[in-house]
């Protein structure tokens, strides 16, 4: 499987990847002019040692590329990992690239994330961020309808602006932004992907981005099983 559907219209697609757990091992062993041809228990112990001691550069030789289609509110949370990839925990550049579709250039029909009546969540009781329990269905239905009306109004104004000859990069101001789906390519090292997973698989992460993190994990866990188990705390607990 190379594509996983997420939310109602979104998806994650595994475009390409380079390397495996063996890549991590051999990147570390090159210091001693040694090489493994097949991953064995000794190699797995080395990966565990590298992760535990923070020797992360070998994990940056294994690369993975995704195409993601997600609401803008998810994309902007995700983007922080690219901005911060060269700075967290003093590890240096963790090899991230991000290229996103732009409504300066495209005028394809906008698609929006609209929570269904049973998907709206309450504000948390003891935190300034995140969410709490699901709202009553009747209240959720009300806000689903209101959001749909708001989106329809924005699309109508957007299309009217285009018809009046306004350029796409300004007409897009009429589109409700946060729920609009955007598409991008994300290329990152296994170290960087693991950092993203470690934070966005947590129970207190925003639910929508948790769903995307689960899809990312499902796509690449078969490729880098040992490295991810050592780099992502929740997976280490499973082991």
What are the pLDDT digits (tens) for 85-96?
A: 554 444 445 568
Predicted pLDDT of residue 33: 80
DSSP letter assigned to residue 159: H
CA distance 27 to 18: 13
Q: Hey, which bits of the chain come out as E strands?
A: 3-6, 10-18, 63-71, 96-100, 181-189
Q: Under a CB-based contact definition with an 8 Å cutoff, are residues 216 and 98 in contact?
A: no
CA atoms in the 13 A half-sphere facing the CB of 76: 8
pTM over 0.85: yes
Over the stretch 135-189, which tens digit does the pLDDT of each residue have? 999 999 999 999 999 999 999 999 999 999 999 999 999 999 999 999 999 999 9
Band the pLDDT of 40: cuts 50, 70, 90: very high
* Burial grade of 123 (CB within 10 A; 0-12, 13-18, 19 or more): exposed
CA distance 68 to 212: 9
CA distance 229 to 149: 45
Predicted pLDDT of residue 126: 75
Predicted pLDDT of residue 131: 86
> Which CATH number is 3-105+181-238 given?
3.30.1360.170
Per-domain residue ranges of the chain: 3-105+181-238, 117-174
Catalytic residues: 200
Q: Which residues on neighbouring strands pair with residue 68, listed in sequence order?
A: 12, 184
Pick from 29-38, 121-130, 219-228: least confident: 121-130
């Amino acid at each position: 499987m190379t594509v996983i559907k997420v939310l109602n219209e979104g998806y994650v697609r595994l475009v390409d990847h380079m390397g495996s757990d063996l890549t991590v091992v051999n990147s570390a062993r090159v210091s001693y002019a040694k090489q493994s041809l097949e991953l064995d228990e000794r190699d797995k112990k080395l990966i565990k040692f590298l992760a535990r001691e923070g020797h992360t550069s070998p994990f940056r030789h294994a690369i993975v590329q995704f195409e993601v289609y997600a609401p803008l509110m998810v994309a902007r949370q995700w983007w922080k990992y690219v901005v911060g990839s060269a700075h967290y925990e003093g590890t240096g550049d963790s090899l991230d690239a991000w290229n996103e579709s732009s409504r300066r250039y495209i005028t394809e029909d906008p698609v929006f994330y609209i929570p269904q009546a049973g998907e709206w969540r309450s504000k948390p009781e003891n935190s300034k961020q995140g969410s709490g329990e699901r709202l009553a269905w009747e209240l959720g239905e009300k806000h689903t309808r209101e959001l749909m009306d708001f989106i329809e109004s924005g699309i109508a104004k957007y299309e009217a602006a285009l018809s009046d000859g306004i350029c796409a990069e300004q007409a897009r101001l009429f589109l409700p932004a946060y729920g609009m789906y955007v598409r991008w390519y994300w290329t990152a090292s296994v170290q960087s992907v693991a950092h993203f997973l470690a934070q966005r698989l947590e129970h207190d992460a925003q639910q929508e981005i948790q769903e995307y993190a689960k899809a990312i994990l499902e796509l690449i866990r078969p490729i880098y099983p040992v490295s991810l188990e050592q780099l992502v705390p929740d997976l280490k607990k499973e082991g």
